[in-house]
Structure 1
Amino acid sequence: MTRRVVITGIGVRAPGGLGTKAFWELIAAGATATRPISLFDASGFRSQVAGECDFDPDFEGLSPRQQRRLDRATQFSVVCARDAIEDSGLDPGQLDPATLGVTIGSAVGAATSLEREYLVLSDSGRHWVMNEDHLSPHMFDYLVPSAMPREVAWEIGAEGPVTMVSTGCTSGIDAVGYAVDLVRSGTVAAMIAGASDTPVSPIVAACFDAIKATTPRLDEPERASRPFDASRNGFVLAEGAAMFVVEEYEHARKRGAEIYAEVAGYATRCNAYHMTGLRVDGVEMAEAIDVALAQARMRPDELDYVNAHGSGTKQNDRHETAAFKRSLGDHAYRVPVSSIKSMVGHSLGAIGSIEIAASALAITHGVVPPTANLHEPDPECDLDYVPLEAREARLDNVLTVGSGFGGFQSAMALRAVS
């Protein structure tokens, strides 16, 4: 008998508010949280808007030692993991530590701290030979991405599988998918899983500026992210995190846990084609969708909502539209599809988990979040992209997808649990 896997706890830090409740209220209202970059001086950059989190480590209960030692993305992970565990009612102390694991996704890891320390060591790039006397004792933690899941594991006493997943912008889906596989196989009773990225920094912004992937739109920063709109011209860089308690269904039911959704299917593919390019036919994303739905034993016409990757780049939105048509057939024209990146921006590896949170909360509340800023639909993106306003609907089956540089394409099917 196949073990069922469910989400019982959610913790989110996203632009526009603190915590899961604030995140849901923002996207359900169709409000936007993109704004001029304030975390560094972006005046010389092509793109100067971002989705920033108003994150206060003191308010979040992080000790001075944690604040000094942990990169910003790791701080997000620890805080969201605490929230997810509290939300789930799970007591890690009641579990055999070997049956509790952690898996976290991130695209750029501790890039923020690495850049900061390089500037200190090199005196802002003035010296090729650097004096190690100025080296931070925490530099190794910034260099090694596995520090992020390690810190969460130490925080909760997890001694089972502890893993870092880095598959670009699909990291957030893939990390949760890996955790689900571990629970389904019986390797663990529960996993803390999710993703975190804090890439709003000069080096990351410069990388995306160079390939013109981010929007140069400077007026009306709250309207800069425009997935599926004819006027879209790039994504809005953002930061954020989402973490989940993922556990076996019977384990959750016996302890009386609230269940947000069952993770019924997951699949990932790579196009082996191009670092940033996408084929127009959407075949690789379609294959991931097909496998995820087959694993869930879910017909395409049973889908009630699709949470799109919807980055707001010309090629991604067209590729994704083609993938939905290929996988869902005529139902692609009937099922509501939306992109929350229109409201919170694109937090790289973290966004897949944030979108899983949005999908699970949509099931719980019976609301389809809208695509904000969609005033002039691209004729090539001719599906129902839920412009501007949310819709109430019964959502039993939801699909969420991701697409990342390197050719990664991932899909996850969620099901309501009565």
Structure 2
Amino acid sequence: MTRRRVVITGIGVVAPGGIGVKNFWSLLSGGRTATRGITFFDPAQFRSRVAAEIDFDAEANGLSPQEIRRMDRAAQLAVVAAREAVEDSGLAFGDLDPYRIGTTIGSAVGATTGLDQEYRVVSDSGRLELVDHTYAVPHLYNYLVPSSFAAEVAWAVGAEGPSTVVSTGCTSGLDSVGHAVELIREGSADVMIAGASDAPISPITMACFDAIKATTPRNDDPEHASRPFDGTRNGFVLGEGSAVFVLEELAGARRRGAHTYAEIAGYASRCNAFHMTGLRPDGAEMAEAIDVALAEARMNGDEIDYINAHGSGTKQNDRHETAAFKKSLGDHAYRTPVSSIKSMVGHSLGAIGSIEIAASVLAMEHHVVPPTANLHTPDPQCDLDYVPLTAREWATDAVLTVGSGFGGFQSAMVLTRPKRSV
């Protein structure tokens, strides 16, 4: 039986540095950074006091007062991104069978911002041991269950098919899109609204990462604090954001004359079953995910034109995935541009995988590889072409994008320009 092929026909992005796809790509292609000192709360007590925040006005971005009251910030970002993706796709959703439209939304930490805020309210900033629930927002249950994210996106677009939240840590944004692809391939849906959202910049999240010293203490220079693959890097910069896509079966997209950004040709996920936060230096598990994704795409490693790296800016991760690229692509890894957009938009945990898919697709669209900002002093153990500082014009027809997450998750996705046949 011929496998149904799945393409991206709509993109929506809400990310640090600007709202919408156009502003997002302008930031990346310009090599600008959106990291700064934290403004959402007083971070004085924390070791790391920098983040990649979004200047987001929910009402100005089309959300009603009731929606704003009902939804956590991460859900708001997802809905705004989904609406942009739907408009971009040109699909007349009102003419479609709603039971054939599904949603998958990834999130690592759910409604962290809302829960943090509401705890401070009901506990009177922690002074009450016995909290007073009457002060909480009436929709507090929606903050507790991340499934509300998928429900909100489904309501926003009128989708009544499969609806799922995928939460696999920092690979959630890749895995949610991978799951959506499988739903279309197996025939459970014809159209999927898929992506991820996280808004983790809150005291509780900063405290958690402070405890394990995963985030950077470079507080005196926030703009240059995120330094993937640089020899002076010392941790990642927390971020927030959302990216959502409209996915369709290729034949249907062609029948309606849709613009197809990319085909999702291959995807795979693995777990190292090794350590909660640790990674083996040989990159074997990520290499396995890459190999399986390439096999599903029916491609060899030397057909990859660009690698969008996880590139968190921790020594352990950067060396791990560098080894994985070499293991999977062989000598071709040395000839392939690699870059990390976390140098510009930070690490938005579960959302970043989808945001990086958006960056990968736009790199193909414009034949431009976004740079790794702040890369001045290369780590000798990271000896690939990481496109330092400045974007590069580059013929890009096939992109490998990868993710790595606490818990041992490793995911890989291959994006290509749709061909007439496979």
Please, what TM-score do these two structures have when normalized by structure 1?
0.99
Q: Which amino acid aligns with 2:152?
A: E
> CA separation in 2, counterparts of 1:75 and 1:191?
19
Q: Distance in 2 between matches of 1:236 and 1:41?
A: 17
The residue correspondences of 1:2-401 to structure 2 (distance < 5 A) are 2-401=3-402
Cα offset, 1:2, TM superposition: 1.1
The 3-state SS of whatever aligns with 1:331 is: helix
Instruction: Measure the CA separation in 2 of the matches of 1:44 and 1:383.
Output: 38
What are the superposed Cα offsets for residues 157-190 of structure 1, whole Å, 9 maximum, x if unpaired? 1111000000000000000000011111121110
- 2:238 aligned counterpart, secondary structure: coil
| Counterpart Cα distance in 2 of 1:132 and 1:417 | 53
Name the aligned partner's letter for residue 159 of structure 2: A
Deviations along 1:108-147, whole A, 9 cap, x unmatched?
1101101111111111111221223223211100000000
Counterpart AA for 1:52: E
One-letter amino acid matched to 1:38:
T
Task: Report the CA distance between 1:99 and its aligned residue.
Answer: 0.4
Within 2, Cα distance between the matches of 1:91 and 1:75? Answer: 23
Return the alpha-carbon distance in structure 1 between the equivalents of residues 397 and 363 of structure 2: 10
Report the AA paired with residue 188 of structure 2: T
Aligned equivalents of 2:135 and 2:396: distance in 1?
55
Q: CA RMSD in A?
A: 0.7
After the TM superposition, list the runs of 4 or more consecutive aligned residues in structure 1 that deviate by more than 4 angstroms: none
Distance in 2 (alpha carbons) for counterparts of 1:263 and 1:103: 15
Kindly tell me the number of residue pairs found equivalent between the two proteins. 418
Q: Distance in 2 between matches of 1:44 and 1:273?
A: 33
In 2, the alpha carbon distance for the partners of 1:374 and 1:86 equals 36
State the Cα distance separating 1:363 from its structure 2 match: 0.4
**In structure 2, C-alpha distance between the alignment counterparts of 1:397 and 1:18, rounded to whole Å:** 26
Identify the residue that residue 405 of structure 2 maps to in structure 1: 404
What TM-score results when the alignment is normalised by the length of structure 2?
0.98
Could you list the runs of 5+ residues in structure 2 that have no partner in the other structure?
none
Q: What amino acid sits opposite 1:164 in the alignment? A: V
Matches of 1:195 and 1:135 in 2, distance apart? 26
**1:10-54 per-position Cα deviation (integer Å, ceiling 9, x unaligned):** 000111112110000110111111011111111111111110111
- d(CA) in 2 for partners of 1:135 and 1:85? 33
Q: Percent identity?
A: 70
Secondary structure, in 3 states, of the residue corresponding to 1:360?
helix
How far apart, in 1, do the equivalents of 2:224 and 2:401 lie? 23
Helix, strand or coil for the counterpart of 1:295?
helix
